[in-house]
Amino acid sequence: MNTITINLPKKSEMDNKEITKFLAVKLYEAGKLSLGQAADLAGFSKAAFSEIIGDYGVSLINYSISEIKGDAARI
């Protein structure tokens, strides 16, 4: 696993756990991490993380429109 350091303004009201959770959700949303990878990064089980992503307005089903259309065409 890579380690990075991020310097945030002191006014940020997020603690390290919240920042890590937010980053994991956004990386999952962008398709850069799988659900399991994002859950591991955030320190949650897959089940718990799948509930948390809804708090950020992110869908558990993370497919693009073109992927959905492609799947539908194969049926």
Query: pLDDT tens digits, residue range 30-42?
Result: 989 999 999 999 9
pLDDT band at 20 (very low <50, low <70, confident <90, very high): very high
In whole angstroms, how far apart are CA 13 and each of 17, 58, 72? Answer: 12, 22, 44
Q: Return the ∠ at Cα 31 (arms to 18 and 69), rounded to 5°.
A: 135
Cα–Cα distance for residue pair 38/24, rounded to 1 Å: 5
pLDDT attached to residue 69: 80
User: Structural domain boundaries of the chain?
Assistant: 16-73
Contacts of 61 (CB under 8 A, 6+ apart): none
Record the pTM. Answer: 0.76
